[in-house]
Amino acid sequence: MSTKEAKKDAEERQKILERRTAASAAWEFADKSFASQAACGAVEMRFQPKEVIFSCGDPINPSGAPLYIVLEGKAIMEDELGVPVGQCKVGEMFGIGGALGIIQQRAVSVRAGGKSTPCVCAQLDAEALQNAFLSNPPCREAMETMYSQRYQKREAFQEARRGWIKETVIPALLNTPLLAGCPEDILLPIAEPLCESTFPEGKMIVTAGEPADSMVVFLEGEAEVLGVSGDKLGHFHQGAAFGDISALGLFGMRTFSVRALKRCRVLSITADVLLRAEPVNKAFSVLVESRREQVRKGLPLTALPLRLRPDDTGVCAVSMQAERIDIAAGELWEPEGESNCGKHMVVLAHGRAQLELEDRFVCNLASGALILEDVVSEYGAKMRAMTKCEAYRFRVVDFLAAKDAPAPKDWLYRFRLLEVETRRHMSARLLSVRSAERSTAPHEADAGLHDWKVRREKAIQRANRMKRQRAEGLSLPQLPKIKAPTLADCQMRYVKGRLKQLPQISRSGMSKASSEPQLANLPRLFSREGPAQQALADWKD
């Protein structure tokens, strides 16, 4: 193509661009002549996704700054912290304050939006725009009104965002293990640049194995945790947080996948955001060094009586996730039980402690003891440190995700046996103490039973007193004394009104083998010469 043809082609493309710019919906407040005059000399600008068009704080040329109209794609407006405060779609303009000369520096940053589609804009010449304003002053007033409305809308958004940070973000950060206990003035620099992301039901929030540099905090919703193999490991609820090892720079990969079961709103906190607060930055340096020492020693799993190696992949994975808890002698530690991140386990690495249930002794805990928080919290028990104790707390989902690490897990079965035995022993001891506590606890019917006992004792005393009084006031007739018959009297009989003695029975006539008398030695009553015949003869006489 010759130079003349190229020039002609460029002029043709320029005319097409100017007509396209003048026909944009951005000029709905102006007539066609003003739009055509303002679009004269426009330049087509193509920005790749996330490319910055201009930055917040950039100075504006006193002679005028260009005005932009979106022809394709979209542009995202951000404040000085990188928080999106608005967007411009096709047929909308941005950079109005600089083009009108109202501001001396850019109030927001603008970058190309979209994931793969570039943003195409028409950059209007400042001189052509000023000439158009001179020929049509009402259009300038309309653009000033548009800028004022956008400014007020942005201020209202910032005011609502400050309330959102105070009421939602800071409480959510305080509930995370990494930032719990920090003052609000320290958390404010961390919370200011945060933005929430929304995931519909069934959407993957994170995927196991993908690169990671942030911690995720759930503001709303419910999600399921999946292992590398796709097995279900647990659930996350509102307030849950995971990925702190990625935010701390200890491990740059997701160890499990998380899929939304309901609509979820989450915060993503990167390492750069965490380092905005200087006091937190120093504390994180100490925490990172402590976690690395845990990994070198393989704590807490190497403290269990399972003969584990510190260099085991699964042991190291749990060591990075475990939270260290230092308990002074005599101090009470209360387990949380099943939280929004699921169940937890605790390993007492050093020291001696005991479980207590309402100030009653349950059992002793020595170094290497495994504590199941769900069992202990179910009964409301607490752990009292007898000496200075060093314990480690980790989530069950982290342990289950660690077992999927590419390394032999011959110790997993020994751990499961230890878990089953610990659950059985603790449940039995806690149930025994709870039963003893209930047996001595006051009952709602105790007062009634006590009153009944008092009334019964008084009734018995009154009855005894009345019995004694009746016995003392009543005299019975004296019966004559009767001499009781003796054995000799019983051996006598009447014969014709005369008392005669019965014949004596010789004891020699008794058999040793039987108490029955020998009939042969007894007198015959009905023989001819027996006593009966003699008595009959006497009667006849």
* Mean pLDDT for the stretch of residues 289-295: 93
Domains of the chain: 3-159 (2.60.120.10), 184-274 (2.60.120.10), 298-438 (2.60.120.10)
Report how far residue 526's alpha carbon sits from residue 71's, in angstroms, rounded to the nearest whole number: 153
* Mean pLDDT for the stretch of residues 106-133: 92
Report how far residue 344's alpha carbon sits from residue 356's, in angstroms, rounded to the nearest whole number: 19
CA distance to 2, 3, 5, 12, per residue, from 8 (Å): 10, 8, 5, 6
Reduced 3-state DSSP string for 281-341 = HHHHHHHHHHHHHHHHHCCCHHHCCCCCCCCCHHHHHHHHHCEEEEECCCCEECCCCCECC
Structure tokens at 254: 């997701």
**In this model, does residue 54 exceed pLDDT 50?**
yes
What's the pLDDT at 314? 87
What's the pLDDT at 440? 80
Nearest-10 crossing angle of helices 278-297, 184-191: 90
Buried b (16+ CB within 10 A) or exposed e, 243-270: bbbbbbebbeebbbbbbbeeebbbbbbe
Percent of residues, the chain, with pLDDT higher than 70: 86
Which residue is associated with the tokens 């007193």? 465
Beta partners for residue 93, in sequence order: 69
490 or 53: which leads in pLDDT: 53
Structure tokens at 316: 């190291």
Q: For the beta carbon of residue 12, count every other beta carbon within 10 angstroms.
A: 10
Which residue is associated with the tokens 């020998």? 518
Q: Of the ranges 107-111, 223-227, 242-246, 280-284, which one carries the lowest mean pLDDT score?
A: 280-284
Reduced 3-state DSSP string for 141-193 = HHHHHHHHHHHHHHHHHHHHHHHHHHHHHHHHHHCCCCCCCCCHHHHHHHHCC
Q: Letter for the amino acid at 359?
A: D
Structure tokens at 330: 């005599």
Structure tokens at 69: 């109209």
* Torsion 60-66-67-72 (CA) sign: negative
**In this model, does residue 393 exceed pLDDT 80?**
yes
Tell me the per-residue pLDDT of 121-171, one tens digit each, with 9 for 90 and over: 999 999 999 999 999 999 999 999 999 999 999 999 999 999 999 999 999
Q: Give the SS3 label for residue 241.
A: strand
520 or 444: which leads in pLDDT: 444
Tell me the per-residue pLDDT of 11-38, one tens digit each, with 9 for 90 and over: 899 999 999 999 999 999 999 999 999 9
Which residue is associated with the tokens 């912290």? 81
What's the pLDDT at 157? 94
Q: Give the SS3 label for residue 128.
A: helix
Structure tokens at 78: 């951000």
**In this model, does residue 85 exceed pLDDT 50?**
yes
What's the pLDDT at 534? 62
Contact 117, 56 (CB under 8 A): no
Report how far residue 332's alpha carbon sits from residue 386's, in angstroms, rounded to the nearest whole number: 10
Q: Give the SS3 label for residue 48.
A: coil
Which residue is associated with the tokens 């025994």? 432
Percent of residues, the chain, with pLDDT higher than 90: 66
Tell me the per-residue pLDDT of 323-352, one tens digit each, with 9 for 90 and over: 999 999 999 999 988 889 999 999 999 999
CA distance to 9, 132, 463, per residue, from 16 (Å): 11, 20, 122
Tell me the per-residue pLDDT of 418-463, one tens digit each, with 9 for 90 and over: 999 999 999 999 999 998 888 887 888 888 888 999 999 999 999 9
Structure tokens at 30: 């102006």
Task: State the first-to-last Cα distance of the chain, in angstroms, to the nearest integer.
Answer: 188
**In this model, does residue 44 exceed pLDDT 90?**
yes
What's the pLDDT at 514? 47
Q: Shortest CA distance to 344 belongs to which of 253, 289, 275, 419? A: 419
What pTM did the predictor assign? 0.77
Element (H, E) at 514: none
What's the pLDDT at 512? 47
CA distance to 204, 259, 345, per residue, from 208 (Å): 10, 11, 23
Which residue is associated with the tokens 């009653």? 360
Structure tokens at 29: 């407040």
**In this model, does residue 510 exceed pLDDT 50?**
no
Average pLDDT score, the chain? 87
Beta partners for residue 111, in sequence order: 52, 76
Contact 234, 293 (CB under 8 A): no
Report how far residue 536's alpha carbon sits from residue 81's, in angstroms, rounded to the nearest whole number: 146
Contact 321, 394 (CB under 8 A): yes
The confidence band for 521, taking pLDDT boundaries of 50, 70 and 90, is low
Residues in Cβ contact with 503 at an 8 Å cutoff, skipping those fewer than 6 apart? 523, 531
> In which order are the strands placed within the sheet that holds 389-395?
323-327, 389-395, 344-350, 369-372
**In this model, does residue 490 exceed pLDDT 70?**
no
Report how far residue 308's alpha carbon sits from residue 411's, in angstroms, rounded to the nearest whole number: 7
Tell me the per-residue pLDDT of 179-224, one tens digit each, with 9 for 90 and over: 988 888 889 999 999 999 999 999 999 999 999 999 999 999 999 9
